[in-house]
Amino acid sequence: MAGLIKREDIDEVRQRTDIKEVVDGYVTLKSAGVGSWKGLCPFHDERSPSFHVRPQMGSYHCFGCGEGGDVFSFIQKLDHTSFAETVEKLAARIGYELRYEDGGTGSRREDTGKRQRLLDAHKIASEFYRDQLLTPEAAVGRAFLQERGFDRAAAEHFGVGFAPQGWDGLLSHLTGKGFTLDELKLTGMFSVSSNNAGRLYDRFRGRLIWPIRGITGETVGFGARKLFEDDPGPKYLNTPETSLYKKSQVLYGIDLAKRDIAKTRQLVVVEGYTDVMACHLAGVGTAVATCGTAFGADHIKIARRLLSDDGTGGEVIFTFDGDAAGQKAALRAFEEDQRFNSQTYVAVGADGADPCELRQSAGDQAVQDLIATRRPLFEFAIKASFEQFDLSTGEGQMKALRHAAPIVANIRDVSLRSIYTRELSRWLGMQFVGEDQVVRAVAAAAKRAAGPPPGNQGNQGSQGHQGSQGNQASQSNRGNQGNRASQSDDRRRPGAGDQRRDWRKDDDGGAPSPSGQPQEPVAEAPRFSRPDPRDPVARMEREALEVVLQHPEFLDAAQWERFADSRFSVPAYAALHDAVRASGATSSSADVSSNWVERVRQEVPEVLRGFVSELAVTPLPAKDADALALYCRDILNRLSELRITRLKAEKLSALQRLDSSADPALFQQLNRELMELEMERRALRSD
């Protein structure tokens, strides 16, 4: 097992990485005050910017949807990478060499180096192919694109290139860049001659080339279409399986579509590279395609992560040709449908035209209309199962019923199964087969099904396909689309104006544990009631926490320690106060950095970690550095005065109840403490 990244290196990468520069690659940021930036949130649609970044603290937070965290969580959420992959990616960005814990150090570092060399080779190859598309030899390739409505700008956007017909054009180019033959053998871009002493030669020759990129945008393989009639090879040729390229785990166009998929919670699956291009250029930016394989379980895992596939919305739309092969592909998709919580649909163009053909013949609107007129995959699969039968005869209707009943029987949503049972009766015509026969046939098929019995659909997302036609259940189409819940509607800014009663687990915006491993489950996470936004004391406590998280240099350790004897009025704020103490907050040692915020975040209950990110980026009401210093000191002093007032009231009350003759020592102690509190108050006011 590869070693884990050392904790101090994780902290160093976090500290050295400018989160603003990283976020700038995704969001246009504008100044929002001293050390603060804001822009439109990349995690949800909005018109007014509510997404804030504080480079000094290495934190971001959206006051619209509640997403927040550090630079690691930002990349993880947008690029859908693991924690370790994210740290390695950012370390490479800043040129930092990571160290790994014992037990996997050398292996992990060596593997990382090999992977980077392969990625570098693919990047250079992609640039080589792209440049070759402009050569005279590539005229046939440019004509191919032009005939399908793709101009030079479109080709450049998708990175389309051309592989020259020679045997070693790319080979010579890459060896000239310093790559060894042993390295190039691992890329999948070359074949080995069987009759020439194992000599390498270019795998792709005389073909149009599409770079296949992973979700992070790095090229991991290529797809190639032949252009010349004398080419004896297949029409399409892809990179073979390599350490980078696993065809069951890549989707063409995912790097371009991922943000639109995450925002709209829609995924459109098309059949080819040109279909993806046509969809994106027509305004359907959620389109992707498989690469020489069917849409399978690994693809579904990718899709579910992007869709946030939790059963509260989202849709997957499959587009297929209208021919027999297209129908077969649609039925394969139906077999995998039950892995989704999102609604699933199928869209088939008029006369079986694919998106590329539709755009050629009828323009961009036709592609948009194709997606808009999708129909439920349930309906398509059921009808396709009996399409070959003559429904005008009793024999044909009975055969159709026998083929369709198992599909309907395994719809796990009982209500939908009942609906489609009635629909099946209607589709069959009921001239020879009555509704009662259909009901009995579906019930009998349900008993024969090898899969789990129909039940609560709430747990269906984790249950895989069972394999037989009788188990081709689907969980999609769970109700009217118009009634879908919006995730962003109930995720408001914690603090002022928030009407939810407590912080829940979905407020967490913090990064994973430093090791990249999942946090240990907790039996019952604590809940913290939200304060009344009209409460001036709660508001002051929040403002003090904002100051402490953003500018610990203004924090006097002794002053902060004294707050321990007069708890914050809001339990969540008290928990944050304790976390600041546990993080080593002193005016001399508290580092004003992203690691400071991360240390505090790791000390609070998980449910409050998103709130830490929010406090760390909330703009402070100061126009310049001098005003900022004045504001920070004033807030902390006001909170100290509030503490003094509370304690004085408690001690005066105790004095009034105390019989001085009965306990003269306690009487003197309370008077002494009152005098000390008054001296502390005067010292604050003299500052």
Q: What are phi and psi of 254, to 5 degrees?
A: -65, -30
Q: Which residue has the higher pLDDT, 358 or 684?
A: 358
Burial of 95 (0-12, 13-18, 19+ CB in 10 A): exposed
Cα separation, 485 vs 482, whole angstroms: 9
Band of the pLDDT at 566, cuts 50, 70, 90? Answer: low
Q: Please, where are the H alpha helices in 133-201?
A: 139-147, 152-158, 169-176, 181-185
Furthest CA-CA distance within the chain: 114
Q: Which tokens hold the place of 168?
A: 């070693």
What's the CATH code, domain 7-94? 3.90.580.10
Q: What is the pLDDT of residue 323?
A: 61
Asked if pLDDT for residue 519 goes beyond 60, the answer is: no
Asked if pLDDT for residue 237 goes beyond 70, the answer is: yes
Band of the pLDDT at 308, cuts 50, 70, 90? Answer: low
Cα separation, 658 vs 663, whole angstroms: 8
CB within 8 A of 153, min separation 6: which ones? none
CATH class label, 110-245: alpha beta
Q: Which tokens hold the place of 44?
A: 């949800």
Cα separation, 93 vs 17, whole angstroms: 9
Q: What is the pLDDT of residue 593?
A: 61
Q: Which residue has the higher pLDDT, 473 or 534?
A: 534
What is the mean pLDDT of the segment spanning 97-104? Answer: 74
* Residue in 167, 239, 149 with CA at minimum distance from that of residue 206: 167
Pick from 238-247, 317-326, 622-631: least confident: 317-326
Q: Which residue has the higher pLDDT, 313 or 190?
A: 190
User: What secondary structure letter does DSSP report for 529?
Assistant: B
Q: Which residue has the higher pLDDT, 541 or 430?
A: 541
> Residues 392, 324: contact at Cβ < 8 Å?
no
What is the mean pLDDT of the segment spanning 148-152? Answer: 97
Cα separation, 10 vs 518, whole angstroms: 16
Q: Which residue has the higher pLDDT, 27 or 634?
A: 634
Q: Which tokens hold the place of 623?
A: 């126009």
> Residues 29, 39: contact at Cβ < 8 Å?
yes
Q: Which helix (H) or strand (E) holds 238?
A: strand 236-238
Residue 105: CB atoms within 10 A of its CB come to 16
Q: What is the pLDDT of residues 270-284, one digit of tens each?
A: 999 999 999 999 999
Q: What is the pLDDT of residues 459-485, one digit of tens each?
A: 433 333 333 333 333 333 433 333 333
CB within 8 A of 517, min separation 6: which ones? 4
> Residues 190, 202: contact at Cβ < 8 Å?
yes
Cα separation, 449 vs 473, whole angstroms: 10
Asked if pLDDT for residue 64 goes beyond 50, the answer is: yes
Torsion angle in degrees (nearest 10) through CA of 473, 474, 479, 482: -170
Q: What is the pLDDT of residues 83-98, one digit of tens each?
A: 888 898 899 889 898 8
Q: What is the pLDDT of residue 16?
A: 93
Q: Do domains 7-94 and 254-382 have the same CATH topology?
A: no
- How many CA within 13 A on the CB side of residue 510? 26
Q: Which tokens hold the place of 319?
A: 């587009």
Q: What is the pLDDT of residue 297?
A: 83
Q: What is the pLDDT of residues 21-56, one digit of tens each?
A: 998 877 778 888 878 899 888 888 777 889 999 998
> Mean pLDDT in the chain?
81
Cα angle for residues 26, 32, 33 (degrees, 5° grid): 140
Which residue type, as a one-letter code, is found at position 240? P
pTM: 0.62
Alpha-carbon separation of residue 292 from 223, 240, 242, 494, 681 (angstroms)? 9, 10, 15, 47, 75
Q: What is the pLDDT of residue 147?
A: 97
Asked if pLDDT for residue 677 goes beyond 50, the answer is: yes
Pick from 83-87, 150-154, 497-501, 596-600: least confident: 497-501
Asked if pLDDT for residue 666 goes beyond 50, the answer is: yes
User: What secondary structure letter does DSSP report for 452?
Assistant: P
What is the mean pLDDT of the segment spanning 547-554? Answer: 85
Band of the pLDDT at 518, cuts 50, 70, 90? Answer: very low
Q: What is the DSSP string of 396-429?
A: HHHHHHHHHHHHHHT-SSHHHHHHHHHHHHHHH-
Strand pairing of 315-319 and 266-270? Answer: parallel
CB within 8 A of 252, min separation 6: which ones? 210, 212, 223, 273, 276, 288, 289, 290, 291
Band of the pLDDT at 499, cuts 50, 70, 90? Answer: very low
Cα angle for residues 507, 509, 512 (degrees, 5° grid): 125
What is the mean pLDDT of the segment spanning 189-216? Answer: 92
Asked if pLDDT for residue 196 goes beyond 80, the answer is: no
Q: Helix, strand, or coil here: 393?
A: coil
Q: Which helix (H) or strand (E) holds 201?
A: strand 200-202
Residue 299: CB atoms within 10 A of its CB come to 24
Band of the pLDDT at 324, cuts 50, 70, 90? Answer: low
User: What secondary structure letter does DSSP report for 128?
Assistant: H
Q: Which tokens hold the place of 140?
A: 């046939």
Cα separation, 542 vs 614, whole angstroms: 11
The phi-psi region of residue 231 (left if phi > 0; otherwise alpha if psi is between -120 and 50; otherwise beta) is beta
Q: Determine the topology of domain 254-382 in CATH.
A: Dna Topoisomerase Vi A Subunit; Chain: A, domain 2 (3.40.1360)
Which residue type, as a one-letter code, is found at position 647? L
Q: Which residue has the higher pLDDT, 653 or 322?
A: 653
Q: What is the DSSP string of 341-372?
A: SSEEEEE--GGG--HHHHHHHH-HHHHHHHHH
What residue segments make up the domains of the chain, in order of their start? Answer: 7-94, 110-245, 254-382, 388-471, 640-686
- Paired with 267 in beta bridges are 316
Burial of 593 (0-12, 13-18, 19+ CB in 10 A): middle
Q: What is the pLDDT of residue 112?
A: 56
Q: Which tokens hold the place of 80?
A: 């859908």
Asked if pLDDT for residue 369 goes beyond 60, the answer is: yes
